[in-house]
Amino acid sequence: MEQKGLIYNEKSTQRPRVSEEAVNRVGVIFQASPRKSTRTASRELALPQSMVWHILWKRLKIIPYRLHLLQALNEDDKLKRFYFYCRIRIT
């Protein structure tokens, strides 16, 4: 009250604090099934998806991503890649 002369508390402009319980719950659920999506986990944990993403990224240092297989790899692909490298290097 002395600083700004207000009786009520000012609204915080910071992001809400993440509890250690929420961090532990997210860690447990992703250790049990690492392929789970952040949306599914947020529904199961009753947390916002942005909070689940933030916990994974900032607190647990886990980068959530999903691999996309664009093309099947064959046995002779390594050899083809090597020949391509040799051809590019010569020219």
The count of domains in the chain is 1
Q: Which two tokens stand for residue 40?
A: 């599914």
77 located within any domain: no
Answer yes or no: is 10 within a domain. Answer: yes
36: Cβ contacts below 8 Å, ≥ 6 apart: 29, 30
Higher-confidence residue: 10 or 52?
52
Distance CA 79, CA 84 (A): 9
pTM of the model: 0.58
Q: Could you tell me the pLDDT band of residue 1, with boundaries at 50, 70 and 90?
A: very low
Q: Please check whether residue 79 lies inside any domain of the structure.
A: no
Confidence grade of residue 63 (pLDDT, cut at 50, 70, 90): confident
